[in-house]
Structure 1
Amino acid sequence: MPVRLRRRPRVFAAVGVFAVLAVAAVFRFWALGRPGTLVFDELYYVRDAITQLAHGFPTAWPDDDPGMATGFTDEPSFAVHPPLGKWIIALGLAVLGDATGWGWRSAVALTGVATVAVTMRLGWRISRSAGVAMFAGLFLAVDGVHVVLTRVGLLDGILTFFVVLGALFMWRDHEWVTERTRVARGGLPVLWARPWLVAAAAAFGCAAAVKWSGLYPLAALLLLTAARDTIVRFSVAHEARRPLGLTSDLDAQRHASYARATGTALLQAAATGLLAIPIAVAVYVANWFGWIFTAGGWGRSAGWVAGLWQYHVDMFAWHSTLSAPHPYQAHPLTWPFGLRPTAMYFEALDSGLVQVISPIPNVLITWGGVAALLVLAWWAIRALRRPATLIRSRSLAAHGAYAAAFVVVCYLSGWLPWVLTVSRSAVFQFYAVVLTPFSALALALVVGVICKRRGSLEETSGRRMAVAVFVTAAVILSLAFFPVWSGAPIPEGFWRWHLWLPSWG
């Protein structure tokens, strides 16, 4: 009987996880071939994927027909993004062909479901709560921005997968270091053999090989890791000096102990960078294999090292000088609230119906996630106001300060660099899809705290009922918006009903 009692929660958790993944799959694969023509920037990325599959590098098309009635040529094309995302799109094309949207969208949809799975895993590792993990997965599964960007053959949904995977591996590295801190005596040596850090660097190398913006989270999390390692070493130094007692040279010993901790923290930061950055670069370069090992690609006439360097110089120049005003351009400051969604497809049908694909946000999840991130940021800042407490703690995750900081930094790493550096007009709301897993995770963590907060039976029941109502309303809202996320034929009046803000049209 005790064995059954222990196994029952695991069964419920497994059922819940598979149910969330089923919801994610339905939202992404239902009528995935609709419409049967290229939408928005599929015109570029899907065509690059088709020609990469044929030649190993992108080649040109003679026209801009979204129906792809004409074929491609052998003339190399200047692709302005690295090749990995297009290779992943090509996997679906290799299996299903390019006759329907299923071919060029199925691999992206699959990465969307995988992102939900990885987000749940990250939620569980952070909270050790199956409920929090399932909330995080469900919020992401029905998030409008993530749903749309994993139903079209664009790169950003794929980028999001690798960013979340890298974040999961970075969290595992935190756990790995924390475990070694518990058994440290007299000081913690510089750690070189960090398998989870290696895995994270490889994941972020793949993220950068989809879009260069995948480098932002790697840089941010390396800085956070350096700060975490510093606090860990001061924790070990603090514990190591406690048995000294009240001796005449206690202050000198304390200062010497902290000086050693500072020195090893700096060495550890250098070691972390020397370990992670070359791996990320090597993985990034390896993803150019098609261009490297074939002849005829753009700029491939010289040796591949010099040619690849010049290719990147040209890519950087293109991105830094791009000036292409667009009716759906959106300043990064508006991204967290989804104030200017990028309408990717609109077609008025002869029957009086319309077809729309627009990543209009589910406001309960998107705006609720922003509120939850502010709560997590407050938790982290409040802990920083008591540095002595952080130093004395042998497990930063135990009181949630590092967990809160980790989620907030992951979110900011995909948003703040754009706010600080954007200098071109052609930036769009859908770039914010990389924020959605961390917004969902923040919301799930806050919801988990609300559900588990101590109080009377009546108070606890009331809070859990409020959470149940919120989650139910969020799912119902996503069902109501799914037709405009998926290009379903709908009456124009029904489409207009979804335009809750003037900027959503």
Structure 2
Amino acid sequence: MARSWLPDSLNDLLEYHLSMYNFHVGLDSEHPYMSKPIGWLVQWRPTSFYWKGSEELLGTDCGSDRCIQAITSIGNIPIWWAAVPALVFVIAVLMISRRDWRVWVPLIGYIGLYLPWFIYSDRTIFTFYTVAFAPCVVLVLVLALGAVSGMLTPVPGSAAAREEERLLEEGRVGPGLPYPRGAVAAYFGFGMRANRTPLPAAWTGVPPWRLRGEGLAVVAVVLVLAVVFAAAWWPIWTGRTVPYTFWHWHMWLNSWV
């Protein structure tokens, strides 16, 4: 008997977990909603959890002669799509350039809960597995938006914090002065003048002079789009009875059907 040196109880427990692992990594049966991990971050192939067609809903009043009920796993697209460039920004700017240790909190989620699925990309797997690291997606987006808007302050004692203290002492930043931008923002003309519409520090947690108008605009756009998307997609997240045309209008990509 394999591992006969182990007590029977531990041997049984280990064998039980090995059999589960071998079953799941070897599962390769075709499924219409299976998807590859490469498309998960853009929600390329969401999973349909529930569908009740017009034949089953005859006589139901939904304002149309063809009613359906559907539940799909598609995430909030403005958040997921914005989080892709945010991930690139967080890695390139915050992690590599600024060496901000805070980014490792969400990145560990990507590394531990997302990347391993590429090892099993031939297995029958689905987009809804992203629910495990969805908080990390949101945290990456929050860090990126906080950085571009000026609401993410440097880590105390870091090189960025010391540089900001030096600029304050030299009078190059502070109330009434524009906050320095990077090369890309400067190329587009941002930071030529001080922020004329500062938000109270009680709202943002940072002095108004740190805020960047273009970054605040990006935050506002992402927030508004996310709220609008959530309101528009709520009926097909929750299985409400809706006209077929309403559901079809929400299927932006053929891969969502």
> How many corresponding residue pairs?
188
- Which residue pairs with 1:413 in the alignment? 112
- Which residue pairs with 2:239 in the alignment? 487
- Which residue pairs with 1:457 in the alignment? 195
Q: Which amino acid aligns with 1:411?
A: Y
- Which residue pairs with 2:10 in the alignment? 305
Once the two structures are superposed, residues 389-419 of structure 1 have per-residue CA deviations (whole angstroms, 9 ceiling, x without a partner) of xxxxxxxxxx552222442232232111111
CA RMSD of aligned residues (A): 2.1
Residues 55-454 of structure 1: pairs in structure 2 closer than 5 A: 303-348=8-53, 349-350=57-58, 351=60, 352-380=66-94, 382-383=96-97, 401-424=100-123, 426-452=124-150, 454=179
Once the two structures are superposed, residues 63-83 of structure 1 have per-residue CA deviations (whole angstroms, 9 ceiling, x without a partner) of xxxxxxxxxxxxxxxxxxxxx
Q: 1:320 to 1:442 in 2, by over 3 A?
A: closer
TM-score between the two structures when normalised by the length of structure 1: 0.35
Q: Which amino acid aligns with 1:417?
A: P
2:133 is paired with a residue whose SS is helix
Separation in structure 2 between the aligned mates of residue 447 and residue 429 of structure 1, nearest angstrom: 25
Moved runs in structure 1, 4+ residues, more than 4 A? none
- Which residue pairs with 2:160 in the alignment? none
Per-residue deviation, 1:462: 4.8
Once the two structures are superposed, residues 120-150 of structure 1 have per-residue CA deviations (whole angstroms, 9 ceiling, x without a partner) of xxxxxxxxxxxxxxxxxxxxxxxxxxxxxxx
1:312 is paired with a residue whose SS is helix
2:68 is paired with a residue whose SS is strand
Once the two structures are superposed, residues 9-61 of structure 1 have per-residue CA deviations (whole angstroms, 9 ceiling, x without a partner) of xxxxxxxxxxxxxxxxxxxxxxxxxxxxxxxxxxxxxxxxxxxxxxxxxxxxx
Larger RCO of the pair (alpha carbons < 8 Å, separation 6+): 2
1:344 is paired with a residue whose SS is strand
- Which residue pairs with 1:504 in the alignment? 256
Q: Greater helix percent: which structure? A: 1
Q: 1:316 to 1:495 in 2, by over 3 A?
A: same
Per-residue deviation, 1:457: 1.4
Q: Which amino acid aligns with 1:444?
A: V
Separation in structure 1 between the aligned mates of residue 18 and residue 222 of structure 2, nearest angstrom: 49
Q: 1:315 to 1:462 in 2, by over 3 A?
A: closer
Contact 1:376 1:405 in 2 (8 A): no
Contact 1:354 1:489 in 2 (8 A): yes
Separation in structure 1 between the aligned mates of residue 95 and residue 213 of structure 2, nearest angstrom: 30
1:309 is paired with a residue whose SS is helix
1:457 is paired with a residue whose SS is coil
Unpaired runs of 5+ in structure 1?
1-301, 384-398
TM-score between the two structures when normalised by the length of structure 2: 0.67
Q: 1:452 to 1:324 in 2, by over 3 A?
A: same
2:48 is paired with a residue whose SS is coil
2:255 is paired with a residue whose SS is helix
Separation in structure 1 between the aligned mates of residue 76 and residue 223 of structure 2, nearest angstrom: 12
